[in-house]
Structure 1
Amino acid sequence: MSEIYRLAEQKDAEQLLDVTYRAYQLIRELGLHWPAATADLALIEDNIATNECYVLEVGGTIVATITLSKEEEVKKLSPLPFIKWFAAHPDYSNRGYGGKLLDWVEENIILGQLGSPEVTLATAKKHPWLVQMYERRGYKRFLELDPQNGDGIMYLLKKTLADKPQFIQRG
């Protein structure tokens, strides 16, 4: 089946709500206050309109989604591109779709279009496997904070992407 990487459209909102809600089940069980974990259709539609929400579609089904934030609040933490709302459809787990979409966004959007050699994201210390997953993918912790909302310690992680080729002008 063909894999299609693209920006989400408003017509995708209901399917994105289903993917996100199901993927964030553990986040709700851990009692984390992440907007994506309890999003309703209006919040999903707002995310699509306000940010750059990307999807990986396989056979007409959205199997993974990731958002590149455009929100000013995030820029106070780091001026670098910020990834959020990363989710893979549980029915398609262990097929690498989430990782493929993350790689595509890092290479084609963050490095390729934005020209940023680095990217950031945040995750909770108390999540049983997310910190380790991101670290295996090359992300490194650079800031620890407590949002004072009951989530406990949150880590900001940063990844250095491959440098774009530099052209040297010789005179």
Structure 2
Amino acid sequence: MQEGIRLATFSDAPRVLELTHQAYAFIRELGLNFPAASADLKMVENNIINSHCYVMLSNGVIISTVSVAQPDSVRKVIDYPFDYPFIWWFATDPTYGGQGIGGRLLDGVEAIVREEWQVPSVTLSTSTRHPWLVDMYKRRGYEVVLELGEHGDSVILEKKL
């Protein structure tokens, strides 16, 4: 299996949408309000245009995606007090689950952000109601830095690069 990471292009939007819908099926079952879980093609195209949307390919097929947004873009969506890039829209095709694909993509994108953006940290947000996402990010070196919502339903996590 030959893998590579690159920025998504506009023509990648249909595949990014397809794999995002597949990957976020469990999020929808949990009733969590992640924008990517109910994205349409226009939202994916806007994400590709307005964020740094990365894709991982295996033998020429997009199998995982993650986006990185600048703080000002994030502030349009959530109350975001940090000046660090924000990771979102992270999804891996479920048929590749358990192979470490998403982890390798996230490692690669964190390295790109560290080297090219010259920032000390990245952040992301997730729901505390999801049964394993917070713990997964903690295992990857992220730390909870802020609780959001009336009942702490979501958190912002930070990883020092």
TM over 0.5: yes
Q: In structure 1, how many angstroms separate the alpha carbons of the residues matched to 2:56 and 2:22?
A: 16
Per-residue deviation, 1:115: 0.8
Q: Give the structure with higher Rg (CA).
A: 1
Q: In structure 2, how many angstroms separate the alpha carbons of the residues matched to 1:64 and 1:152?
A: 29
Are the aligned partners of 1:126 and 1:152 in contact in 2 as well (CA < 8 Å)? no
Aligned counterpart for 1:116 among listed residues 99, 116, 119:
119
Q: After superposition, give the CA deviation of every residue in 1:87-143 in whole Å (9 maximum; x if it has no partner).
A: 011011111110000000101x21000011211000000000000000000000010
TM-score, normalising length: structure 1:
0.87
Alignment partner of 1:77: what SS? coil
Are the aligned partners of 1:69 and 1:82 in contact in 2 as well (CA < 8 Å)? yes
1:153 aligned onto 2:153: yes
Q: 1:1-171 maps to which residues of 2 (within 5 A)?
A: 1-70=1-70, 72-75=72-75, 76-107=80-111, 109-146=112-149, 153-161=153-161
TM-score, normalising length: structure 2:
0.92
Where structure 1 has 5 or more consecutive residues not aligned to the other structure, the ranges are 162-171
Q: After superposition, give the CA deviation of every residue in 1:28-81 in whole Å (9 maximum; x if it has no partner).
A: 111111110000111111110111100000011111100001362525331111
Per-residue deviation, 1:4: 1.2
Alignment partner of 2:53: what SS? strand
Range 57-66 or range 72-81, more displaced: 72-81
Q: In structure 2, how many angstroms separate the alpha carbons of the residues matched to 1:144 and 1:16?
A: 29
Q: In structure 2, how many angstroms separate the alpha carbons of the residues matched to 1:18 and 1:141?
A: 30
Give the ranges of 4+ consecutive aligned residues of structure 1 lying more than 6 Å apart after TM superposition. Answer: none
The percentage of counterpart residues that share the same residue type is 46
Q: In structure 2, how many angstroms separate the alpha carbons of the residues matched to 1:20 and 1:152?
A: 25
What CA RMSD, in Å, does the superposition of the two structures yield over aligned residues?
1.5
Where structure 2 has 5 or more consecutive residues not aligned to the other structure, the ranges are none
Q: In structure 2, how many angstroms separate the alpha carbons of the residues matched to 1:20 and 1:145?
A: 24
